[in-house]
Structure formats: structure tokens, C-alpha cells
A and B are shown apart, each in its own frame.
Chain A
Amino acid sequence: MAAAIFLIFAFLAVVCGLNVVLRRHPVSSALWLIGVMVSLAVLYALLGAHFLAAAQVIVYAGAIMVLFVIVIMLVNAGAEQRSTASRMAQHAGLPLLAALLGALGYVMWRAAPAGKVAGAAAVGKGTAQDIGRALFTTYLLPFELASILVLIAVVGAVVLAYKEMD
């Protein structure tokens, strides 16, 4: 059962990811990226990370992608123009990408500990209670620093995007 769910949503994630990379129009890419994020949220839930599955949908598929779509609308981005500026990316890109994938796959195949995840192994770790307890005890300092980081990011974004009225 868990394997079937994994295969379905892994396939969906890869198809959506391919479309993110291959679509010429930024809005299409953004919509396919939402597909990737929702598929990954299902996989997180399969792994027992229920809080992160919810956060993935709310923060990524919700907030961040809305931001992307709004910016695409603001700058009125059309389909991407083809360019021949990067000769090196055209010729060496695909072999290098295959090499990267091969190296990643080899390392993960060799170094990953055996064993199964998801299904029965994934019960009761990663509810909001578990995450909250870890976040407000062991990881309290990083959590507070993260809040400052987000505050700085908000102020920075406003400063950058603010346009003076003439």
C-alpha cells in the first residue's frame, strides 16, 4: 500500500518537475511547481511528517507560490526568449547533468542505510506536538534566530521593492 502511494506520487513529482524545467512560460512553470510541492506533501505525510506536510502545502504551495505568481503578473513575464549566449551550457550541460545524477545516485545507493521507511515505521513521529516540543526546547535558539531572519527578510523586501511616489 505504502509502496503504491509512493510510486504514484513520485511519478507525479517527477512529471511535474520535468514540466517546471521544460515549459517556456513562467506561469506554467509556477503551476507545475505547485504540483511538485503537493506531491511532496503527500510523501511527507507518508513518512509520518504530518506537521511538515501541512506546512509544505500552506507555506510552499500557498504563500511562496502566490508570491511567485504575483511577481510574474507584476512584471508581465511572457514566454522565455531563446538564447544562444551560453554555448557551454548547450554542449556540456547534458553530459554534466548525467554525470551529476549518476554520482548522486551512486553515493545514495552505496551509502544509504538499508531499511524501510513509511508505513508502519512512520507512526507517531512528526505530529505538531513532537515538532513543537523539539522546536521550543532543544532548538529554541535557532527558532528565535529564524524569527529575526524572517523579520529582516520582510524589512529587506519592503526596502527593495518600495517605489517612491514622485
Chain B
Amino acid sequence: MDGVPLTWFLMLSAVLFGLGVAGFVFRRNIITVFMSIELMLNAVNLSFIAFACRLGQVDGQIFAFFVMVVAAAEAAVGLAIILTVFRNRATLQIDELDSLKN
């Protein structure tokens, strides 16, 4: 009666990860693409914590904690890069940021 099957959490995690991938592929604004990456990281965290609960161990939660730390660092550096790109190129469209192409 009480409790939720582990697979439900994993399914939710898969759906959120898929949404993140969709945003990453389809969106053309570099900030929204970056937010999609955060969405994927959150989906993975949910899996970690669901498994930690299932196995009765705290280790999975520690991994999720480190993912959060890395995500914070990544957000700071990534947004600084976005600021610099915008200052130099005056655009946020990823189609126009193609100086590494060819």
C-alpha cells in the first residue's frame, strides 16, 4: 500500500532527461540550451536518489550532492562564457556562433 515503485521514479527521470535532450537539440538560444543541460542533470540526480533510497544507502545521495556542486561551478563558468560571447559577437543564436565550423 505505502510506497511508490522504483520504476515510476526512473520513468519520470527518463522523461525529464528526454525533455532536456529535446531542448538541447531543438532550441536555438544559447541560454535555453544551457538550461536544458541543467534539466538533464536534475533528471540524473532523481535517478541517483531513487536508487539510494531503494538500496538503503547514503552513497547515491552523495553522488547527487557532487553533481549539484559541479552543476553550480558549470553554471558560473558557462554563464561567464555566454556573457563574453555576447560581448564579442552580440548574438545568442547558436546558428551564428559557428566560427569553429570548417
Cα distance A135–B9 in the bound complex, in angstroms: 25
Given contacts A2-B3, A13-B12, contact A83 B93 (CB under 8 A): yes
**Interface residue A104 (Cβ < 8 Å from any Cβ of B):** yes
Given contacts A33-B39, A40-B42, A161-B80, contact A71 B31 (CB under 8 A): yes
Name A1-43 residues within 8 Å CB distance of B.
1-3, 6, 10, 13-14, 17-18, 20-21, 26, 29-30, 33, 36-37, 40, 43
Q: Is B58 within 8 A of A134, CB to CB?
A: yes
Query: Given contacts A14-B12, A56-B68, A63-B72, could you give 7 more A-B pairs where the C-beta distance is less than 8 Å?
Result: A18-B19, A20-B36, A71-B79, A72-B31, A97-B18, A121-B3, A157-B80
Give, as a whole number of angstroms, the nearest-CB distance from B19 to chain A. Answer: 4
Chain A 80-113 interface mask (CB, 8 Å, partner B; 1/0) = 1111011001000100010011001100110011
Q: Which residues of B contact A56 (CB under 8 A)?
A: 45, 68
**Chain B: interface residue count, which band?**
35 or more
Q: Is B61 within 8 A of A126, CB to CB?
A: yes
Chain A count of residues within 8 A CB distance of the other chain? 86
Q: Of the candidates B28, B76, B86, which one forms a contact with A67 in the assembled complex, judged by CB atoms under 8 Å apart?
A: B76
Give, as a whole number of angstroms, the nearest-CB distance from A129 to chain B. Answer: 10
**B residues adjacent to A (C-beta < 8 A):** 2-23, 25-29, 31-32, 34-36, 38-39, 42, 45-46, 49-50, 52-54, 56-59, 61-62, 64-66, 68-77, 79-84, 86-87, 92-93, 95
Which B residue sits closest to A135, measured CB to CB?
Answer: B62
**Interface residue A165 (Cβ < 8 Å from any Cβ of B):** no
Q: Which residues of A contact B72 (CB under 8 A)?
A: 59, 63-64, 150, 153
Cα distance A80–B95 in the bound complex, in angstroms: 12
Q: Which residues of B contact A115 (CB under 8 A)?
A: 5-6, 54
Q: Which residues of A contact B12 (CB under 8 A)?
A: 10, 13-14, 43
Cα distance A38–B66 in the bound complex, in angstroms: 19
Q: List 29 A-B contacts (CB under 8 A).
A: A17-B19, A20-B19, A26-B32, A26-B35, A33-B38, A40-B42, A43-B12, A49-B53, A52-B45, A52-B68, A55-B65, A56-B68, A60-B42, A81-B93, A93-B25, A104-B14, A108-B13, A114-B6, A115-B5, A116-B3, A118-B3, A125-B53, A131-B65, A138-B62, A142-B66, A156-B80, A160-B80, A160-B81, A161-B80
